Amino acid sequence: MRASIASVDRGGGDQDGQRRQLILALAQANCGQQYRAAAQAMGAGQPARQPPRQRNFFEALFGGPVNSEPEEGGPGLDVAPMELPKSSTYRTVCVRTCDGFYFPISYATVPSRFASDDAQCRRLCPATEAQLFSYRNPGEDIQQATSITGKPYMSLPTALMYRKQLVPSCSCRAPGQSWAQALSGLEDASTLQKGDILVTEEQAKEMSQPRPASDPATAGAKGKAAAATPSRPAAAPLDPVPPTSAAPLAPAAEQPGRRPVRVIPAPGGSGSTGQ
């Protein structure tokens, strides 16, 4: 056993775990006071410390801890849990303070646009008090929503009241008023964008009317005028030129100014003509 300890000592620090196990075994076997003292100094009764593992390929290439366990007697690492990054966009909702009802304004906006969304909220609900609330999207809901001034939605006395009871007097339009009348002032100069076309009420009525059908009397007058207009006559086809035929020539004796011609047959059967 002592020879084994000596060989472990010569082996270096990499065999520290084996040396501890041998000393603990000698102390438990009552092989000497020195082994019991050494075992007590190392913390007898506790499991032997495992030797440090070797680095893997990526730890050797990029660096990393050899042993993830803290050193004996050393302070442990107090690492805070990793927090997910919070979204930088918000969802804005228009809250009707009389019953807690809300409807969306923007689904993904930024705080610099809250003032515009708040004005839009008030225009969409002109008959009662309405406030703009916002919460992070994604990750939160109406229960984490806060107003522009930082007031939580759930702190309202009427938060989520519309889910439990109906408040007849709570509405975004006045009694007896239509939605067209309630939202008549919605489109003003502050909501116009480049490319928008403005249509007045008179123009809208004119465009909504059906196109008038043609008047039969007018159509008949137009037809008579067209009939009275003289039309240019078509060119008459040209008469075909009759073919000309040459009159038969009179015999030479009858033609004036011509001498009679005598034909004498040539020897050998061929004839020639002479004058």
Q: How many CB atoms lie within 10 A of CB 101?
A: 21
pLDDT of residue 161: 96
Give mean pLDDT, residues 9-32: 71
Q: Over 60: is that where the pLDDT of 94 sits? A: yes
Q: Which amino acid is at 240?
A: P
Distances in Å between the Cα of 181 and the Cα atoms of 127, 172, 178, 262 are: 11, 12, 5, 126
Mean predicted lDDT score pLDDT of the chain: 72
> Would you give the DSSP letter of residue 125?
S
Q: Evaluate whether 248 touches 241 at the Cβ level (below 8 Å).
A: no
User: For residues 180 and 182, what is the distance between their CA atoms, to the nearest angstrom?
Assistant: 6
Is the model more confident about 14 or about 222?
Answer: 222
Q: Evaluate whether 144 touches 135 at the Cβ level (below 8 Å).
A: yes
Element (H, E) at 226: helix 216-228
For the stretch 220-254, pLDDT in tens is 666 666 666 655 666 666 666 565 555 555 555 55
- Comparing CA positions, the residue from 10, 34, 38, 54 lying closest to residue 21 is 38
pLDDT of residue 31: 74
What predicted TM-score, i.e. pTM, was given to this entire model? 0.40
pLDDT-derived band at 98, boundaries 50, 70, 90: very high
Where along the chain do its domains lie?
A: 2-41, 90-163
